[in-house]
A and B are shown apart, each in its own frame.
Chain A
Amino acid sequence: MTPEVVLRLTGVVKSFPGVRALDGVGLEVRAGEVHCLLGQNGAGKSTLIKVLSGVHRPDAGEIVWQGEQVSFTSPHAALKAGIATIYQELDLIDELSVAENLAIGQEPRRLGFVRRGVMRRAAQRVLSQLGHPEIPVGAEVGVLPAAAKQIVSMGRALSRRAKLMIMDEPTAVLAHGEVQNLFRVIRDLTADGIAVIYISHRLEEIREIGDRVTVLRDGRTSAVNLDAKTTPTRELVRRMTGRSIEYVFPERHAAPHTEPLLAVEGLGRQGEFSDVSLSVHKGEIVGIAGLVGSGRSELLETVYGARRPDTGRVLVDGRPLHPADVGAAVRAGLGMAPEERKRQALLMGEPVYRNITLASLRRFATVGFTRAGAERAAATRIADDLELRPRDVHRPVRTLSGGNQQKVVVGRWLLGGTRLLLLDEPTRGVDVGARAELYQMIRRLADSDVGVLLVSSEVPEVLGLSDRVLVMREGRLIHQAPAEELDEDTVLDLVMAGSLLEGSPT
């Protein structure tokens, strides 16, 4: 017996000025299934979610929810109808307790007073149902780890009797073990007949948890209801990109340079990482593999001067860098593409060219007066070099896809004449096609003698791109080797367990 179809979209269109974000999208979700939504950045996934959750109203097309045609006027209306969305940046209130967050807006009340006992018991029940009775219902949400917050967020959807949960990149904030835990919760939910729309960039997750896949490309449905387990990867990629590509890592140098550029000596920060020593040579790409929370982002930011080290020092060209001084680091030739592009790197409302020239404004100024022509010409050339799409450097950065935004950040440092680039998760939120371009670009940089220190959660990326790999675990560097001498399993073992497991090849 085929389960009933709870949600059916046909011919949904949504336009913004200058962009047709959705151009006739269809979607069919059955009760109790995990329906995966796949597509490159800019393919329309986010817009589709917002249409479903009542944030946007479609210009045309039909949404049939549980047999009735609907048009949600607000997120509240969608929630009342049983569609809950769990966002990447969780929409919980950090200052309230778990129980209060779960009950918010529908607190059990008597004579206007909140019945705290009832509220706590209800919270306990929901969390147990999700298999996480250990989450303290009285704790402030702000102190919980990301994974627990996600569970609370799902609990909130559950306590509102949601029939459909939309999860936007739920694993982006989770460590490996927590992902498995999340999958278990999802399976429990679907067993109760709740439908899940699941969005992720990680194909292996889709294979593991998904039932069916709908692929979006350029605001249209390019494939519907593919089998999540059996459809070949190449087929999925082809549907997403319209062409067939694979992860292609550029070739390495025959022999990397040996001139040292960056030396880190015994760097440490209380509670984050300790006693880290490493070096990066000219033209060398050094990759750091490690889990979220292993201290790798903090390490990168400390090297860059954005955090003050407790111990140790950073040397560039053998000269120590003034600690906790980004300006000094930039003057010494360092540049960083941080993990959270939107929050840490980009002026989203400003045009592309102003983002590119942000770190080297002085070069385009005479006694403080900017020379607009020179500035835009330089930015345009960088944009051409990086094959920025669209090429128009006057567009606000926020209109660009994730991959192109990343190009803008890297372009900023290219323009600044940076000699050592620190890359934190350079391909997060970047689609497959743009990834390959970014890899090429990073290698080209190294070929022009720029040193690169790279951090990534994706082991294949670290292995494929780097000349040398460092493994970081719980704030310490525990292993280093040329990339050729390592394989994915080995690195994963080191990352997860801290040592090579028995029977692993070395």
Chain B
Amino acid sequence: MTASTRATTAEPEAVREPDRRVVSLDSVKRTATLAAVLLALLVVGAVTRPDIFLDPAKLWSNELTVLSLASAIGVITIGMTFVMIGGGIDLSVGALLALASVWCTTVATQSFGVTGVIFAALAVGTGAGIVNGLLISYGRLVPFIATLAMMVAARGLAQKISGSQTQINRISFVNELASGKILGIPYIVVIFAVVVVLGWILLNRTTFGRRTVAIGGNAEAARLAGINVKRHTLALYALSGLCCGIAALIVVAQTTSGSNTNGDLYELNAIAAAIIGGTALTGGRGTIVGSLFGVLIFSQIANLFTVNNLPTETQRIVNGAIIVCAVLVQQLQMGRFRLPAFAWTRRGRTPAT
């Protein structure tokens, strides 16, 4: 749009710089809470396993492990955060990860070498994401249904391609991503960090991010403001698919193999991480930093359980409790500091139930 030629009143040149309050009080509070939880987990570690958590070298190595294990699910959670802020949901992420990991490790793909493997993973993820997006924006399927169908189908396709067998990856460059380090940090952690930073910029500093928030907050308003809601929704699911492709490479590197069992329940873990990070299931609200913390908290908990030799059942109970607590805190904050009237009216308006 070349609107400047017919702008009637305003030109971008600043008359005066208004006060910069980029970060709202709310999100500061939330980030502080999440950081405190993570810190508390480290304190628990220090109390239960002082030999690891109070020894700088071992702590460093342990936390690198936590970060490595958070990488794949973390990248997926970033994609999921965009989809959820945009008012959707993507249940297919775990299955897409499996499909991409299998596709990129077939003998045929590996014969194309490292570029073939990387391209296959990213293209399969993005392609499946585009199919999701097409079904949702142009096929008018509910996101839940469309991505549920994709979840089932992609997992099935992954089984078919692999014959339900684990495919060993022999491309050493890819395996090196997990075992190799730069400045003492595994490449996959660096990949994760890059995705987080790019995700943050995309959400907070670009028109794409702003449109995502607008669509998730009020799709009708966004449409009537001239935003191409369908095309944007398509892009969101493609983005989520791309993240699945990146995560597939990370998992292939970590496990040195592709398998149709990869990424089991990742969709739920990613949604849970996004939610405890403050992303609203209803769309329009969420932060990259929050989601990052959500992923790290879950990963740190898993680590704490293993280093203390505790059974996995308890860990699941704790994870469930954390999700509930996070949502309760979220509602409490909303009730007290946000939407003072509206949120309560809706709840209160159904009499005699």
Contacts and interface: CB of A to CB of B under 8 A. Distances in A.
A359 B225 contact: yes
Contacts of B339: 349, 398
Contacts of B351: 75-76, 79, 84, 91, 105, 160
Nearest to B226: A330
A183 interface: no
B314 interface: no
Interface stretch (B118-126, B188-196, B212-220): B212-220
A243 interface: no
Chain B residues touching A, range: 35 or more
Contacts of B208: 368
A370 B217 contact: no
B9 A370 contact: no
Contacts of A336: 224
Contact of B353 (A55, A105, A418, A448): A105
Interface in A52-70: 53-56
A347 B218 contact: yes
B309 interface: no
Interface in B155-213: 201, 205-208, 210-211, 213
Given A50-B341, A365-B207, A370-B205, A338 B224 contact: yes
B18 A91 contact: no
B340 A350 contact: no
A106 B352 contact: yes
B207 A361 contact: yes
A177 interface: no
B345 interface: yes
A385 B205 contact: no
B221 A380 contact: no
B313 interface: no
Contacts of B284: 347, 349-350
Contacts of A179: none
B344 A370 contact: no
Contact of A374 (B9, B12, B16, B345): B12
Given A75-B348, A380-B18, A393-B18, A359 B226 contact: yes
Contacts of A75: 348-349, 351
A217 interface: no
Contact of B6 (A338, A372, A381, A419): A419
Interface string A317-350: 0000000001101110100101000011111111
B28 interface: no
Contacts of A135: none
A398 B342 contact: yes
A239 B336 CA distance: 32
B344 A394 contact: no
Max chain A Cβ within 10 angstroms of own Cβ: one of B17, B217, B225, B340: B225
A376 B345 contact: no
Contact of B220 (A106, A330, A343, A372): A343
Interface stretch (A119-127, A184-192, A409-417): A409-417
B220 A344 contact: yes
B225 A358 contact: yes
A382 B15 CA distance: 11
Contacts of B336: 17
Contact of A363 (B3, B205, B225, B228): B3
A364 B345 contact: no
Given A338-B224, A370-B205, A370-B207, A414 B18 contact: no
A209 to B, nearest CB: 24
Contact of A56 (B13, B207, B344): B344
B228 A104 contact: no
A450 B6 CA distance: 11
Contacts of A359: 225-227
B1 A382 contact: no
Interface string B79-119: 00000000000000000000000000000000000000000
Contacts of A372: 20, 22, 205
B308 interface: no
B213 A326 contact: no
A421 B17 CA distance: 29
A358 B222 contact: yes
Contacts of B341: 46-47, 50, 55-56
Interface in B278-303: 284-285
Contacts of A364: 12
A50 B345 contact: yes
Given A91-B349, A380-B15, A415 B224 contact: no
Interface in A99-113: 104-106
Contacts of B8: 414, 417-419, 445, 448-450
A304 interface: yes
A378 interface: yes
Nearest to A157: B351
A349 B286 CA distance: 12
A382 B225 contact: no
Nearest to B221: A345
B9 A377 contact: no
Contacts of A412: 225
Contacts of B18: 376-377, 380, 393-394
A379 B152 CA distance: 47
A417 B7 contact: yes
Interface in A276-316: 304, 306
A218 interface: no
A358 B214 contact: yes
Max chain A Cβ within 10 angstroms of own Cβ: one of B6, B11, B19, B352: B352
B224 A105 contact: no
Contacts of A169: none
Contacts of A54: 348
Interface in A127-160: 160
Contacts of B348: 53-55, 74-75
B340 to A, nearest CB: 5
12 contacts: A17-B340, A75-B349, A84-B351, A87-B349, A329-B226, A346-B221, A369-B205, A371-B12, A378-B10, A394-B18, A414-B8, A417-B3
Given A360-B3, A370-B206, 5 more contacts: A55-B345, A76-B351, A327-B228, A354-B210, A382-B10
**The 9 nearest A-B residue pairs measured at CB:** A105-B352, A330-B226, A377-B14, A417-B7, A374-B12, A75-B348, A347-B217, A359-B225, A417-B3
